[in-house]
Structure 1
Amino acid sequence: MSLKQLDSLFRPKSVAVIGASNRPGSIGSVVMHNMLRGGLPGPILPVNPRYDAVAGILAYPGVRELPLVPDLALVCTPPDTVPGLMQELGIKGTRTVLIMSRDLNKQLDESGQTLQQRVLKTAKEHSMRILGPDCLGIIVPRSGLNASFGHTDIAQGKIAFVSQSDALGIAVLDWAGSKGIGFSHFISLGDCLDIDFGDIIDYLKGDPHSTSILLYMESVSNARKFISAARSASRNKPLVVIKGDKFNISAVRDASYIDSPVSTDDIYDGVFRRAGMLRVFDLAELFDAVEAMARYKPLRGDRLAILSNGGGPAMMARDVLKTRGGSLAELSEQTRQQLQHGLQAELSHQEPVRIIDHASSETYSRALEILIQDQNVDAIMVIHVPTAFASSQDIAGAVINSLGRTRKNVITVWLGEKDAAQARRMFALAGIPTYETPDQAARLFMDMVRYRRNQELLMETPDSVPSDFSPDPMAARAIIKNALDENRSFLSAPETNEVLSIYTIPVVPTRQAADAQEASLISRELGFPLALKISSPDIQDKKHSGALALDLESSGDVLKAAAAMQARLAAGYPQASLEGFIVQKMVHRPTAHELTAGVTQDPDFGPVLYFGQGDTAGRIYKDLAAGLPPLNMTLAREIIQNTRISSLLEDSKNRPAIDMQALRLILVQLSQLVIDLPEIQEVNLKTILADAGGAVVLDARISIASTASAGEERLSIRPYPKYLEEHAELPSGLRLLLRPIRPEDERSHQDFVEKLSAEDLRMRFMGFVHEFSHSQLAQLTQIDYDREMAFIAGAIEDGAWKETLGVVRCFFDPDNTNAEFAIVVRSDLKSRGLGTLLMDKMIRYCRQRGLKELTAFALRENTGMHALAKKFGFRMESDPEDPEITILKLEMTPRIIHPPV
C-alpha cells in the first residue's frame, strides 16, 4: 500500500466523521468538536443517520450519501459496524481511514474471521490505508487537523510525537501543554493494523516542519521496515525513543538448553543503537533530549571537565556521569598548574575543579578560559551555587563573554530560584544549554554522548574482515541435514565444533565417546591433560552437577572419572539419559577472561547475536549486549563496548589486554554462520576464553530445525546480496566483476571519485562538486539494500579486485513502485560498453524486485546519458520546472527471479 496516501491522512482537504454525535461525552461528540476547533480549512462531514445536524453542521445518514469523496474518514462507531463501513468507504473512493473503534481483534464474524482481519482485507482490496484501530487519533496544528478525542489542544511546534499508547499520549498532551511545548504532529498508532512506525517515520523524515521525531514504543510489527526507515531518517534528523515494557525478558522463549539473560530490552537497545537513535527512559528526559540536541554544538569527544564553586553539586554530577558510563577529563599538567597556582583551585586526579565558594565573576571567567584551552577537554560543565558575595547574573554574564568562538560545548547549572532563574534565561538566550540540577545536566550530557556514538556508527567505515575468512556453507549444511534426517534438534559436540570450525571459529579439539572405554581410547589419541564431560541433553550445568572432570593425566584417570560421573548421574539425576562422554583437550590460560556469545531467535527481529561476561558473574550481573546480523568488525566492536566487562578486557591491572581483533572476528563469523544457515535456531558459545594470545571456545551448543525460509528472509537487516555478483568482459577483453557496493568500499570509492573528471562529476551531480567528505562517502557505500542498490564494476587482476571503474545507483521509494537511478563511468572507459553493462545489470535487478517505473534526471546537454537511455527504451520528457533537465522514464515489465536459498 502506498506511502503517498499518507498526505490525505496528515493534510486532508476534507474529513468525514462517521459516528459523529451530539451526545455529550461520547467519542463521536468529542472528535467532532475537536475537528471543528482545529480549524481545518476544508469541509467536515458528520455521518450519523440519527441526526440531521451534529454540532450545527449538516449530517449525512451514511457514506453513500456524502456529497464528495472525503480524503480522510474517522470511524467512531461500534466494532461490528466497522467492516461494512470500510466496504462503503472503499467503494466511495476514500483512501485513508482512521479507526478509533476498539476490540476489533476480539470479535468474530459469521465466517470465523476477526473483524480486524475483515477490515484489513477490505482495505487491501480498495488500496486504502488504515491508522488504528483503537487509537487516540492525530493532531497536525499546521493543517488545522485535530482528528482525536484528546482533551486539549496543542501548540504548533517542530517536534513530531508518535505513540503506541493512548494513555501515554493523553498524558503527553497534558504534560506538554503545561510546559508550553508544541508539536508538528501528534500521532497515536493504536493497534498498527496497517500504518506502523516504519510508515510514519518514512513520512516524517521528509516533512520540513518536523525537525525531530519522538517515539513511545511498546513493540514493532515489521522489524525490517522499521529499521530501514529509522536508519534513513536518523541521517537527517534526531529520533528519540522511549521503549515501554522494559522488563520483558522473554527473548529466549523456546531455547530449553540456554539459561540466557538476553532480554527483549537488550535486543531493542541494540536495534536503537544500530538505527542511530537515542533511547531515553522518561518523558522529562525525552523532551530534555530534544532541547539539548537543538542547543548542543556537535560533540567532538566525551571528556567532560566540571568547574564548580561547591563540592557537593560537583560530586553529584561526577557520580551520575560515571554511573552512565562517562568519565571526567584528565587535565594537562599545564592546566593543573594554572588552576592551582593562579586561582588556588582544589584539584585531585580526574576529579571536578573546585574553586572557592565565593568565587567572583573574574575567577569563573579565568578558570573557564584555562579549561577551554586544554586539548584533553571536550566539554565543560560550569556549576554555580549562589552566595552573598557575587551575583548569579554577573557570573552568568562573565561565563557567556568567556566562551567567545570556542567550538567546545559548555553546559551550565545555576542552582537556586529567583536570581538563578534570570541567569538561566540569559544562557537560554545565548543558546547555551542550561539546567537546574547537576544530575540533570550530567544525564543529558551522556544522552548526547550516546547519540553521537550512535550517529558515528551510521557513518563509520568498517574494518576489513581478514581475507582468509571464506567458510564453506555447503559443508556445514550437510552436517545439519544429516542431524535433521535423524530427527535431532541439536548437533552433537563434535558436529557443533565442526560447524564452528568451518566458519573458522576457534574451538578446543573435541571428540564424542559412546562409553568409558571409548573415551579412554580417544584420550590417548588427543594427548593429555584432558577434560571429560557427560554427554546428556538433560544435564546443562555440567560443572555444578558433577558431570565434568578436569586435568586428567592418563587413560586410567579417564576411566575412573567416567565411572564416578556415572555414579553421580544415577544418584542425582536418575531420569537423565546418558549418550556417552565428551573428551576435550585441556586449555590452560590463567590470565584469560571467561566470556560468552551466541545467537538467539526473537519473535520480532529474528536472529539476534549477543555477547557478554561468562560464568557465574555473567549470570548474576546479566552483563550482555545484543546486536543484529549482518555484522562487520566495526559493529562487532560496538556490541562488545556496550558491556561492562569490555573496560576490563583492554585495560586491566592484573591481566594484559586481550586480542580484541580475535574476539570481534568470532562475532562476525557467528553473524555469517546464521545468515548462511537458516536451519540454525540457537548457538550458545557458553564459554569463550580470551587473552592476549587470542580467543578459543571451550563449550558450545547448536540447536537446529527445518525451515522453509531463505536465510535473508529471517533477518531484520538485509545482508550483502552476494548472489548478485557476476563476472563480465568488455569487447576490449577487460575482465570485470559487477557486484553490489559494500561499506568496506569507501576507500576505493574515494579513489574512483578522485579519478572522475570535473565534467563527469558535473553531469552526475548536476553541479560542480570538488570533493566528498567522509560522511558523504559513507552514505554512498553504507547502503540499505532494502531501500537502495548500487552496482560497481571493477577490474579483476589475478582473481582480485583492482579498482572501481563505474557505478550505477538506484534509490527506491518505500512502496517499491518508483526508483531514481544515476550512473557514472570513468572518462577513459566511456564508449567501451561499460555503461551498457551497468545499466543492463540494474534494469534486470529492478525487474527482479518487481519495480514499476525507473526514472532519472539528466542535464539536457548530457548526450551520453540520452543515448544510453534510448538504447534501453526509456521515454524522454522535458522537466516542466527546469528546461535544462530531461526526465528519463522506463516502465518495467516484472520478471521475478528468486535468489538462491
Structure 2
Amino acid sequence: MTTTEPASTRSPLHDFLAPDSIAIIGASTDPTKRGYKAMVGLIKDGYAGKIYPINPRVDRVLGVKAYPSLADIPGTADLALICTPASSVPALLVECGKKGVKGAVILASGFRETGRPEGIQLEQEMLAAARQSGVRVIGPNTSGMFNLHKKLNLLALSNVKAGGIGLISQSGNMLLSLVLEAERNGHVGFSTYAGPGNQADIGFNDYLRYLGEDSQTLVATLYVEGFRDGRRFLDAAREITALKPVVVYKSGSTAAGRKAASSHTGALAGSYAMTVDVLRQVGVSVVQHSDEILPVAEGLGLLQKAGGKRVVVVADGGGQATIACDRLAEAGLELAELSAATQRRLGEILFPQASLVNPVDVAGSSDANPALLADCLEIVAEDDNVDSIFLVGMFGGYYTRFAEDLLGSEMRGAEAMIELARNCAKPLIVYSLYAPVNPPALRRLHEAGVPVYSSIEHAVRVLAALGERGIYLAASSGQKSLPTVLPSRQGQLAFATARSEGRDLFEFEAKNLLRAHGLAVPEELLASSPDDLASFAARFGDQPLAMKVVSKDILHKSDAGGVKLNVRGEAGMRSAFDEIMAASRAYDPQAVIKGVLLTPMARKGVEVIIGVIRDPIFGPVLMFGLGGIFVEILEDVAFRAIPLSPHDASSMLEQIKSRKILAGARGEAAVDKAALVDLLLKVSSIVEAYPELVELDLNPVIALSDGYAIVDARIIVSREAVAPKEMSS
C-alpha cells in the first residue's frame, strides 16, 4: 500500500531507515560486542549497500575494510550505528553532521532513563549536538533497528523473514518475543523495526508516519510504554489509519497523567482506559493482551477491514461453535441473522440434523467430504446480513482424524476457500484445532493469505479489530469539521477576574459561560444577603428550589452542609439561607462566602457527568458517563480527545456499560440522545475557545426525554497566563 502524499511531505526518516550506506561506529572483532553482531547481520543477510566499519585499531572487520574514524570514509553514510559508550555520543554526532550522515542509532544507555542529573544532562548535550549537526537520533538506550526488505539487520536476528508488519517497540524483549512467535507461525514477516528508546528526538508519531508511507508495510504495529507527545501521535494516527491499519499495545497507564486532582474528571483521567479510548477514537486497533499483538497485526495486514460487526459462524462441532459465540458476544460482535434464502440453500446440502441458523453447525455433513465446508462458506458469504465469516472446527485435520483419502477433499476445499477470499470483500477467518501441527490444507490457506489461528480467542479478536476498523473508516469518511466557536467578551472577563483573584470560576459564572454558548442551564439567582430573598420568592413562587453556598474556599458543598434541596416559599428560603451560612462558617471559619445560589429543582431524569481535563500527554480530553456520587466508584465512563466529531460524541453514549439506562430501563422514558450529543459537541467547542479552562465538571447533568438540565457546573482556571483567543462580537 502506498500513499498519495507529495514528495515534499515525505517523512525524512526514509533517508536513514531505508539506507543505501551505513557506518558502524565501534565495529568490533569481539563476537560479544554489538559492533560485531551488527556486522554479522549485515553480511549474513546480504545487505547490498555500502558498509563502513569504524575502528582505529583494526584494518578489517569480518573481511570488510575498516576506517580509523568517520572522517576517513569515502563519501558519506545515510545511517550510523553508534556502539560506543554514552559519554562519546555528543562528539560523534558532531562528526556525523560533518560527514552528512542523516540518522544515527544510539545503543548506549546512561542517559535520561537513569533518572540521575548527569544522565539527564548528557541526553540534553546529545540532543543539542544532534540538532546542531542536522542528525536525527533513534534512541538513545535503544535495541536497534532493522529493515528486512533492504536486508539491513542490525540486530543479527536469525530466521526472521521479510513481510508486511512494521514494528516499533520500546521493549527489546517484546521484539524478540514477536520474532520467535512469527518463526513458529511460519508465514508472518516484518518490514521495518525500530526501538525508540528514550525518544529523545524521534517519537512514536514520527515512526508512525514513516510506516504509513512505507510501501512495504501493510500494518503498523507499536508496543508503547509511554508517549512523550500523545497529541502529535493522535494527529499522525488519524492520517495513517485512513491508509492502513495501526495496532497498538499500551503497557501500564499514563503515569504522567495520574495526579491528585480536584475534580471527578481529574481523578479519572490519566488512566489506561483514557489512553485506550483516545487511541481508538483515531482508528487505532488497541490490543490489551500481549499474545494478541501478532495475530491481530497479521489479520489486519491481510484483510484490512470488515463492513461491520455481524459475523457468521460455520462449525463442524457444537461445543466449539458455542465457545466461539460466547467470545464473539464478549467482544461486542453480533451473530448475523441469516436470511431465509441462505438457510434454504444450506439445507439443500447439509444433513437434516444440521443447524441452519447462526451458528451453522454442519453436524457431521462434512465428515466424508470436508470440501463441503467451502460450499457453506460460499453460501453464507452471499448473505447481505453478513459482514465477516468465521470457520470453526477441525478443517485441515479430517484426513488425520477420519481417513487419509480425505486429504484431496481438504485440499480442494482449501482452494475453494482461497478463491472465495480473493473474490469476496467479506473477511474469512479460520480457527482449526489442527493449526498447531500445520497440516497441508491449513498451510495452503496460510500461504495464500487466509489467516488461520489455533486460538478461538485470537481469531475473535481479529474479527473484532476488522469490524471496528471498517466502522471507523465508514464513520470518519465525509465527517465535516464543526464551525469554530469564538470566546465571548463576558466569558473572557470572567476568566481574567478569577485569575486575578486567585480562584476558579464561581458556579454561577461557569453556568453563565455555558448559557452564553447555548447550553441548557436552569435559571438561577445569587442571594448575597437575606434581603434579596423577598424578590426571589416572588420570582420563583412556590416551586421547589435548590440552594447552594457560593465560596471559592468550599469545594465540596454537601460535605460542608452548604446545600439545601426542595426549599419552598420565602420563609423556607430564609431558614435555608441561615442554615447554609451557619454550617458553612462552622465548616471553614476563614472561608470567603459570596452568597447562596437559588435555582429550581431539576425534573426527574438520568444523572450523567460530562467533564474535561487538559491531560499532559494527550491535551484536552472529554469524559462522559453516569453521574452523581457513583462516577468514581463505577468508573463507567468514556473518553475522547477534543475536538469531537458527531460520531465521537454519539459513540461515547453507546460505549458505556450503563447505556441501557439511557435507552429507558424498567419502563423509564429513554433520554434525548440527540440533545446529549449536541451538549458534548458544544462543550468540546467551548474548551477549544477558552484555553484558560483547565478542567470542567458538569455533574450532574439531568438527561431528560426532551433535553437536559445542567444542575452543577465547575470550571477550574489556569493559574498561568494564557493567550486569549479572538473574541466574538
TM-score (norm 1): 0.70
Q: How big is each residue's C-alpha offset from its partner over 1:447-466, in whole Å with a ceiling of 9 and x where there is no partner?
A: 1111212222331434977x
Check if 1:177 corresponds to 2:208.
Answer: no
Q: Which structure 1 segments of 5+ residues have no match?
A: 713-722, 724-898
Aligned amino acid, residue 384 of structure 1: G
> Which residue in 2 is equivalent to 1:557?
572
CA distance in 1, matches of 2:120, 2:379: 72
Contact 1:52 1:60 in 2 (8 A): yes
> Which residue in 1 is equivalent to 2:640?
627
Cα distance, 1:112–1:240 mapped onto 2, change above 3 Å: closer
Check if 1:478 corresponds to 2:493.
Answer: yes
Aligned amino acid, residue 701 of structure 1: R
Of 193, 196, 206, the match for 1:199: 206
- Following TM superposition, by how much is the alpha carbon of 1:531 offset from its aligned partner in structure 2, in angstroms? 1.0
Cα distance, 1:483–1:422 mapped onto 2, change above 3 Å: same
Of 589, 592, 597, the match for 2:610: 597
Alignment of 1:136-151 (within 5 A): 136-148=143-155, 151=157
- Following TM superposition, by how much is the alpha carbon of 1:367 offset from its aligned partner in structure 2, in angstroms? 6.1
| SS of alignment partner, residue 712 of structure 2 | strand
> Which residue in 1 is equivalent to 2:540?
526
78-87 vs 542-551, greater mean Cα deviation: 542-551
> Which residue in 2 is equivalent to 1:439?
457
> Which residue in 1 is equivalent to 2:658?
645
> Which residue in 2 is equivalent to 1:702?
715
CA distance in 2, matches of 1:418, 1:29: 36
Contact 2:300 2:462 in 1 (8 A): no
Alignment of 1:239-250 (within 5 A): 239-245=246-252, 247-248=253-254
> Which residue in 2 is equivalent to 1:326?
333
> Which residue in 2 is equivalent to 1:677?
690
> Which residue in 2 is equivalent to 1:500?
514
| SS of alignment partner, residue 584 of structure 1 | strand
| SS of alignment partner, residue 97 of structure 2 | helix
Of 129, 133, 138, the match for 2:136: 129
Cα distance, 1:315–1:131 mapped onto 2, change above 3 Å: same
CA distance in 1, matches of 2:493, 2:569: 35
> Which residue in 2 is equivalent to 1:452?
470
Q: Which structure 2 segments of 5+ residues have no match?
A: 1-7
Alignment of 1:60-99 (within 5 A): 60-99=67-106
Cα distance, 1:343–1:502 mapped onto 2, change above 3 Å: farther
- Following TM superposition, by how much is the alpha carbon of 1:530 offset from its aligned partner in structure 2, in angstroms? 0.5
Cα distance, 1:92–1:367 mapped onto 2, change above 3 Å: closer
CA distance in 1, matches of 2:271, 2:131: 32
CA distance in 1, matches of 2:31, 2:161: 25
> Which residue in 1 is equivalent to 2:161?
155
Aligned amino acid, residue 411 of structure 1: I
Q: Percent identity?
A: 28
Cα distance, 1:36–1:351 mapped onto 2, change above 3 Å: closer
Alignment of 1:99-110 (within 5 A): 99-105=106-112
329-338 vs 126-135, greater mean Cα deviation: 329-338
CA distance in 2, matches of 1:214, 1:607: 26
Q: How big is each residue's C-alpha offset from its partner over 1:706-734, in whole Å with a ceiling of 9 and x where there is no partner?
A: 5555579xxxxxxxxxx9xxxxxxxxxxx
What number of residue pairs does the alignment pair up? 706
> Which residue in 1 is equivalent to 2:278?
271
CA distance in 2, matches of 1:240, 1:164: 14
CA distance in 1, matches of 2:70, 2:384: 69
| SS of alignment partner, residue 64 of structure 1 | helix
- Following TM superposition, by how much is the alpha carbon of 1:701 offset from its aligned partner in structure 2, in angstroms? 0.2
- Following TM superposition, by how much is the alpha carbon of 1:430 offset from its aligned partner in structure 2, in angstroms? 6.3
| SS of alignment partner, residue 216 of structure 1 | strand
Contact 2:547 2:564 in 1 (8 A): yes
Cα distance, 1:357–1:440 mapped onto 2, change above 3 Å: farther
395-404 vs 553-562, greater mean Cα deviation: 395-404
Aligned amino acid, residue 499 of structure 2: L
Aligned amino acid, residue 245 of structure 2: P
- Following TM superposition, by how much is the alpha carbon of 1:82 offset from its aligned partner in structure 2, in angstroms? 1.5
Alignment of 1:52-451 (within 5 A): 52-105=59-112, 114-148=121-155, 151-152=157-158, 154-180=160-186, 181-245=188-252, 247-248=253-254, 251=257, 253=259, 255-258=261-264, 260-296=267-303, 298-332=305-339, 344=352, 352-354=359-361, 356=363, 361=369, 371-372=380-381, 374-384=383-393, 394=409, 401=416, 407-416=425-434, 421-425=439-443, 427-428=445-446, 432-451=450-469
| SS of alignment partner, residue 114 of structure 1 | helix
What RMSD in Å do the two structures reach over aligned CA positions?
3.9
Cα distance, 1:653–1:441 mapped onto 2, change above 3 Å: farther
Q: How big is each residue's C-alpha offset from its partner over 1:843-896, in whole Å with a ceiling of 9 and x where there is no partner?
A: xxxxxxxxxxxxxxxxxxxxxxxxxxxxxxxxxxxxxxxxxxxxxxxxxxxxxx
| SS of alignment partner, residue 558 of structure 1 | helix
CA distance in 1, matches of 2:695, 2:235: 25
Aligned amino acid, residue 581 of structure 1: V
Of 579, 584, 609, the match for 2:622: 609
TM-score (norm 2): 0.85
| SS of alignment partner, residue 135 of structure 1 | coil
CA distance in 1, matches of 2:254, 2:11: 36
Of 511, 525, 531, the match for 1:511: 525
> Which residue in 2 is equivalent to 1:799?
none
Q: How big is each residue's C-alpha offset from its partner over 1:95-143, in whole Å with a ceiling of 9 and x where there is no partner?
A: 3222112123379999998122222222222222221111111111232
Flag the structure with higher helix content. 2
Question: Of the two structures, which has the highest relative contact order with CA contacts closer than 8 Å and spacing of 6 or more?
Answer: 2
| SS of alignment partner, residue 688 of structure 1 | strand
CA distance in 2, matches of 1:191, 1:381: 41
| SS of alignment partner, residue 37 of structure 1 | helix
| SS of alignment partner, residue 664 of structure 1 | helix
- Following TM superposition, by how much is the alpha carbon of 1:440 offset from its aligned partner in structure 2, in angstroms? 2.7
517-526 vs 373-382, greater mean Cα deviation: 517-526
| SS of alignment partner, residue 80 of structure 2 | strand
Aligned amino acid, residue 155 of structure 1: K
CA distance in 2, matches of 1:647, 1:626: 19
Aligned amino acid, residue 636 of structure 1: A
